[in-house]
Structure 1
Amino acid sequence: MIHEIKGGYVKSDTRKDITTIEFYHPQSNSMPGKLLQELALEIHAAGNDDSTRVIVLRSGGDTVFCSGASFDELNAISTPEQGFAFFSGFAQVINTLRKCPKLVIGRIHGKCVGGGVGLAAAVDYAIAAEGAEIKLSELAVGIGPFVVGPAVERKIGASAFSQLAIDATMWRNADWARRKGLYAELHPNLESMDESIARLASTLAASSPDAMQELKKIFWKGTDHWDQLLTERAAISGRLILGEFSRTAIEKFKTKVKA
């Protein structure tokens, strides 16, 4: 099944009890609101499909895994309500991954920025390749990693999360992300990464669905309040994105991209 979204798409394919969900956007796999909505729906559907035992989340292309929020949509936000609605899309995806009764393997083939780091943190087992550098760039545009923060902090700890959030323009390499626990595995190339993903997905597809579901509940223990928490965080980002600092920063970014 494929859902096309202004040049991009979200699609899913199920084979041998493994459902692969892929998202893509021509602007460095950025995430407009419609893509976020469709991604959450696909994850929810696979999680409740008896023919699926494990999910692999990946993105299209061969460069950036996910560059986070769509700057075109950020630039178009003109009210706190619109801002809240947009950032709620990230909250919905993270909460859908959290509540999905199936284990989710993340295929992280390239750089992750902002919301992309949040996705890598919200999957249950992230397998990455060299070059999958990470950066939480939100502070540089006048907001902060409020919505993705709980997922990132849960995975790598408060100290490493604060380092990423504060130094918003510095890339951390993939080995840093592996050592901090964001990536479970780091491979020297795409072929090795994909072999490992295929091995683990096949192993999990042959494992007990009930046991994996109970394990997932344990892994995510203590996050039942995230529906409310991430909603509150989305409101913070939705308000800050309207500030003069954010308006100027986004305009500078768009000018730089066009140059």
Structure 2
Amino acid sequence: MTAPYVNIEVENAVGTIEFFHPAHNSLPGDILAKLAETITDAGNNDEIKVIVLKSGRDRTFCAGASFKELINITDADTGKVFFSGFANVINAMRKCPKFIIGRVQGKTVGGGVGVASATDYCMATKYAEIKLSELNVGIGPFVVGPAVERKIGLSAMSQIAIDANTFYSAEWARDKGLFTHVFEDIKTLDAEVQAFAEHLCTYNPEAMREMKKVFWQGTEDWDALLAERAVISGRLVLSEFTKETLKRFK
């Protein structure tokens, strides 16, 4: 099994950030911290004009929170710190002065939907079904909810948050605005993402920075908002309901 990692490669002014975890690209705290740091550094790297965010291997894009870490949370402070990891990644993406292009090759769950939603432009394959599963385990998509709602609207976000046991198709996600394009296979997806990212690199970087500010107007309070949401999730993960449910999942 390959060890978890977060890598970045720069080619033709495109910075490609790739994260990986052998448990279906789930996101434990150390990977979340490294991902937020890498996104911030890429935003400050003058060699990079556009960022591509992807995950490793060819199956699941992201399984969301690490169940192993969720099970081991024993106090509210630890819970807050863990869920703040997702908040930090979303806020790093929000504050990054460069466009972030998402490349979603397969299913994405929970926090992974939040990460995909925080990209500025997201392409996927037809296998990229999405699910907000948090209610299933007794919590809710509190931290990632603002990013998902911003992208697909309150009605659609409410639908998938309440219907927490259902995968919604890539086409549904495209129709709601999460994905811009849905392709037949990964090979086509990769070619289109790379071509699009390199084309964006021909644009005026200053214009793209200003456009990014416009796109994210109204989210200036998210540092505080997502921290508050992390507290809610950190408290709920300690509930008897959630503890028993996580044991069953384990």
TM bin (shorter chain): over 0.9
SS at match of 1:69: coil
The C-alpha deviation readout for 1:201-236, integer Å capped at 9, x for no partner, is 111111111000000000001000000000000000
Residue number among 75, 78, 96 corresponding to 2:74 in the alignment: 78
TM alignment of 1:175-254, pairs within 5 A: 175-254=171-250
- Give the whole-Å Cα distance in 1 for the aligned partners of 2:3 and 2:13: 29
- Root-mean-square deviation (CA, aligned residues, Å) is 0.8
Runs (4 or more) in structure 1 with deviation over 3 Å come to none
1:121 aligns with 2:117: yes
- 1:89 is matched with which residue? 85
CA distance in 1, matches of 2:130, 2:12: 32
- Counterpart CA distance in 2 for 1:243 and 1:54 is 42
Residue of 41, 46, 58 corresponding to 2:42: 46
The one-character-per-residue Cα deviations of 1:116-139 (angstroms, maximum 9, x if unpaired) are 100110000000001100000000
- TM-score of the pair, normalised by structure 1: 0.95
Partner of 2:153 in structure 1? 157
Inter-partner Cα distance in structure 1 for 2:171 and 2:35 = 28
Give unpaired runs (5+ residues) of structure 2: none
Contact 2:59/2:106, CA 8 A, preserved across alignment: yes
Of 195-204 and 159-168, the range deviating more from structure 2: 195-204
One-letter amino acid matched to 2:128:
A
Aligned partner of 2:9 among 13, 20, 39: 13
Work out whether residues 58 and 186 of structure 2, in 8 Å CA contact, stay in contact via their aligned partners in 1.
Answer: no
Contact 2:103 2:124 (C-alpha < 8 Å) held by counterparts: yes
What residue is the counterpart of 1:36 in the other structure?
32
Identity of aligned residues (%): 55
Cα distance in 2 for partners of 1:58, 1:103 equals 14
CA distance in 2, matches of 1:132, 1:248: 30
1:135-146 correspondence runs (5 A): 135-146=131-142
Please say if 1:110 is aligned against 2:109.
Answer: no
Q: Is 2:57 the partner of 1:61?
A: yes
Letter in 2 for 1:62: D
Work out the CA distance in 2 between the residues paired with 1:61 and 1:236.
Answer: 33
Structure 1 counterpart of 2:198, one-letter code: S
Distance 1:140 1:248 in 2: 12
Alpha-carbon distance between aligned partners in 1 of 2:93 and 2:61, rounded to the nearest angstrom: 17
Deviation at 1:74, TM superposition (A): 0.3
Structure 1 residues 129-171: Cα deviation after superposition (integer angstroms, max 9, x where no partner): 0110000000000000000000000000000000011010011
Alignment partners' CA distance in 2, 1:66 and 1:190: 15
Matched residue of 1:105: which SS? Answer: strand
* Rounded Cα–Cα distance in structure 1 between residues aligned with 2:213 and 2:112: 23
Comparing 20-29 and 200-209, the one that deviates more: 200-209
Q: How far apart are the structure 2 equivalents of 1:251 and 1:61? A: 28
The SS at the match of 1:127 is strand
Corresponding residue for residue 257 of structure 1: none
> Could you tell me which of 150, 162, 168 is aligned with 2:164?
168
What is the total number of aligned residue pairs between the two structures? 249
